[in-house]
Amino acid sequence: MPSTNPLAGLFGRNPFSALQEHMSAVMETVDQMSPLFEALAARDYETVTACKETICAAEDRADKVKNNLREHLPKRLFLPVDRRDLLEMLDLQDSIADVAQDIAELLVERRMEIPPEMKEALLELVAGCVEVCREAAGIISELDELLAMGFGGNEAADVEARINALNLSEDETDRLEAALTKKLFALEDNLPPVSVIFWYRLIEWIGDLADYSEKVGNRLRLLIAR
């Protein structure tokens, strides 16, 4: 009799299918980041709101995948990975979508305006962090091949190299974040104090997109090493 468990097929041959499905939804939130901030720069608040709604819908889809995985993942897995490893990677991926939603909601709630002196550096930071997320998603998309090779061979070496590249890309976003923070510091006296506080928070959250993506890669590195 066929199983009625909607995730049963996901874990029979490939325990990473749900992770890949979840990351796909996560990236739908991330892909809205550049359009969101470009609309903000243009003071196109209608588009800002539309981007926020798209992000929230994608975050909701990611949550549904996450919750289904948690509910149906067996306590014991006859797999080359531990149940806890899968759930920890899932949580890290989910943090990316959560931060993207936090960013979008704040921009809509406060109707932020980008100081002209910060515009170029801000958009560069957003683009850099989005790219780091895409690199992490690309690594997750290769987990089918990694599992097929038993977490070894050329595929494992390729994943390791991509994780190293991911770390370097995240380092670059740290540099961009520091440069943008320095610009904001120089503008503090000319901006409303409350706006300064929220801009520091936004800059940190944008950087978090790349930070969590790097953590996804590093968590996978530990999993391969076992």
How far apart CA 31 and CA 145 sit, in angstroms, is 25
* pLDDT, tens digit (0-9, with 9 covering 90-100), for 140-198: 988 877 766 556 667 778 888 999 999 999 999 999 999 999 999 999 999 999 999 99
pLDDT at 10 over 60: no
Q: Give the list of residues 6+ apart from residue 161 with CB closer than 8 angstroms, or none.
A: none
Residue of 134, 137, 153 whose CA lies nearest to 145 = 153
Question: Most confidently modeled of 5-9, 66-70, 81-85?
Answer: 66-70
CA dihedral 89, 92, 94, 97 (to 10 degrees): -140
Task: Give the three-class secondary structure for 15.
Answer: coil
How far apart CA 203 and CA 154 sit, in angstroms, is 38
pTM: 0.89
Domains of the chain: 14-225 (1.20.58.220)
pLDDT at 15 over 80: no
* pLDDT, tens digit (0-9, with 9 covering 90-100), for 186-201: 999 999 999 999 999 9
How far apart CA 225 and CA 202 sit, in angstroms, is 35
Give percent of the chain above pLDDT 70.
86
